[in-house]
Amino acid sequence: MSHNKLKDIPVELMQLKHLRSLLLQHNELSHLPDEFGQLVSLEELNISNNNIANIPTSFAFLTSLVHLNLACNQLKSLPAEISSMKSLRQLDCTKNNLEAIPPELANMKSLEQLYLRRNKLCHLPVLPSCTFLKELHVGENQIEALSAEHLKHLNSLCVLELRDNKLKSLPDEITLLQGLERLDLSNNDISSLPYKLGNLSHLNFLALEGNPLRTIRRDVLQKGTQEIMKYLRSKIQDDVTSSNGELSVTAMTLPSQSKINMHAITALKTLDYSEKQVAVIPDEVFNAIGNNPVTTVNFSKNHLSEIPVRIVELKESACDINFGFNKLSSISLELCMLHKLAHLDVRNNSLTSLPDEMEALTRLQIINLAFNRFKIFPSVLYRIPTLEAILLGNNQVGSLDPLQIKNMDKLGTLDLQNNDLLQVPPELGNCFNLRTLLLEGNPFRTPRAAILAKGTVAVLEYLRSRIPT
């Protein structure tokens, strides 16, 4: 009975005691009758793409159910009684309003596939009894952390999808997932990976794009999963050496050096003063650099309202700078003088515009402007031909110039998710260099969500078909 306009299910239907499959997707149902539990022989139930806000507790009696699809409804919670479905192998709760998963779900021992994408989860569910779980999809939520408790029971897991969350790191216990074949970490806040990840011998797909990774060279990332895994394995011994080589605090250590990783400056060419909750970067931090050629600077997760003037002292060496998660309202002219800058991360600030002087950054390849306050596409970006990735998601951008985008020959990634685009210019379809075009979460009507879901190639093809002739 799918793809109709049903608003109610007649209770007479509940008398079909031998019914095994019931397909009700794409209707206008807002509730389910309490008598639903009478369908005790039901093995497959699809009520996706309706307006259902609550699941009746009588679902506890559907103990023969194998496949349950609740996707694309208005569910804010799942009843604890759902755990009585001892035969359930596939549960799909994609695109609801779930903020938490009942702990009883962990008792569903037969569960093999669990889809929780596009909800409002802040934590991964702990599933101690789901030892047969093979696929866990929790992308597009608000998950900030993974712990050993989340992972240690998932011995059979083959697919773990965590894209578009707020993860900042992976625990070393990720290596407990020895059967893992696919791991999607796209579009998180991960700056480094545990090198032991390279020991997952079955992992043949690892997605990392959209993360501010610092510890893996860009050329390695571009070569794909096998090269990344090989690189991680090669670094396992180096990781141990680096950990033992950090500067220890002794009576001879300067006060400023006790806060600064001098080993990172001298050996790794990295200046890291992140997560200090400071409003100003102390002079001692810059003084500690001395004559060392620092290439990577991380001042993220502080309370900076402006870029320190002394950043200009790094103009001959700095290639990668991170000012993410601060309170910046403008980009200083000193930053525009760092002519070797290739990667700039200023996400999660209060920026509304970029200075024209940024045109001088003739080596800039990646700029992350996500979660700021841009209302228009920064015009200076059109004049930086070296740009390969522009990340402008979660702003308020209302339009862009497709002709100028087309002239950016090296631009491969353009992220405009969750902005205020009322229309997508068809001429954008002629930007053949774009390999990744992200437009979800905007108020335009076309392209439709079904086309967006097919990926960049399909979207560009659709846009080209709309160009007036």
Q: Over range 147-160, report the average pLDDT.
A: 84
Other residues' Cβ atoms within 10 Å of the Cβ of residue 229: 18
Peptide bond into 447 cis (omega under 30): yes
Who's near 454: CB < 8 A, 6+ residues apart? none
Contact 393, 418 (CB under 8 A): yes
Answer yes or no: do 316 and 348 share one domain: yes
Assigned domain for 349 exists: yes
Point out the domain boundary residue: 217, 240, 263: 240
Does 217 lie in the same domain as 310? no
What is the domain-level CATH number for residue 148? 3.80.10.10
| 366: three-class secondary structure by DSSP | strand
Do residue 128 and residue 183 come from a single domain?
yes
What is the DSSP annotation of 156-188?
T--EEE--SS------GGGGG-TT--EEE--SS
Distance between CA atoms of residues 103 and 107, nearest Å: 8
Determine the pLDDT at residue 259. Answer: 61
Lowest mean pLDDT among 36-40, 105-109, 198-202: 105-109
Domain shared by 295 and 197, yes or no = no
Whether residue 5 has pLDDT greater than 70: yes
**Positive or negative torsion for Cα 11, 13, 18, 20:** negative
Give dist(CA 459, CA 438) in Å, integer.
10
**Is the model's pLDDT at 238 over the cut of 70?**
no
Assess whether 212 and 343 both reside in one domain: no
Domain that holds residue 155: 11-240
What would the pLDDT profile of 438-463 be if each residue is shown by its tens digit?
A: 999 899 988 988 899 888 999 999 99
How many Å from the N-terminal Cα to the C-terminal Cα in the chain? 42
Q: Which two tokens stand for residue 423?
A: 């229309």
Question: What is each CA distance from 85 to 31, 76, 111, in whole angstroms?
Answer: 20, 20, 9
pLDDT in tens, 59-85: 889 999 999 999 999 999 998 888 888
> Does residue 220 share a domain with residue 360?
no
pLDDT at 258: 41
Is 247 contained in some domain?
no
Residues 214 and 257 occupy one common structural domain: no
**Where a domain ends, among 240, 266, 296?**
240
- Work out the angle at residue 193's Cα, subtended by the Cα atoms of residues 154 and 249, and round it to the nearest 5 degrees: 120
Q: How many domains does the chain have?
A: 2
Query: pTM for this structure?
Result: 0.54
My answer on whether 232 and 327 are in the same domain is: no
Residue with tokens 């938490």: 100
Give residue-wise pLDDT tens across range 76-127. Answer: 999 888 888 888 999 999 999 999 888 888 778 889 999 999 999 998 887 7
CB 135 within 8 A of CB 114: yes
Domain limit, last residue, from 212, 240, 268: 240
Q: How far apart are CA 111 and CA 373, in angstroms?
A: 43
Residue 415 lies in a domain: yes
> pLDDT category, 255, cuts 50, 70, 90?
very low
pLDDT above 60 (res 254) = no
Where does the pLDDT of residue 171 fall: very low under 50, low under 70, confident under 90, or very high at 90 and above?
Answer: confident
Measured between alpha carbons, how far is 402 from 431 in angstroms, rounded to an integer? Answer: 8
Q: Say whether both 236 and 330 belong to one domain.
A: no
pLDDT reported for residue 299? 94
Specify whether 232 is located in the same domain as 263.
no
Q: Are residues 152 and 35 in the same domain?
A: yes
Pair 224, 296 in one domain: no
pLDDT over 70 (residue 241): no
Average the pLDDT over 385-409 and give the result: 94
131-136: long-range contacts, CB 8 A cutoff, minimum separation 24: 131/155, 131/156, 132/156, 133/157, 134/158, 134/159, 135/159, 135/161, 136/160, 136/161
Query: What is the rounded CA–CA span in Å between residue 68 and residue 447?
Result: 30
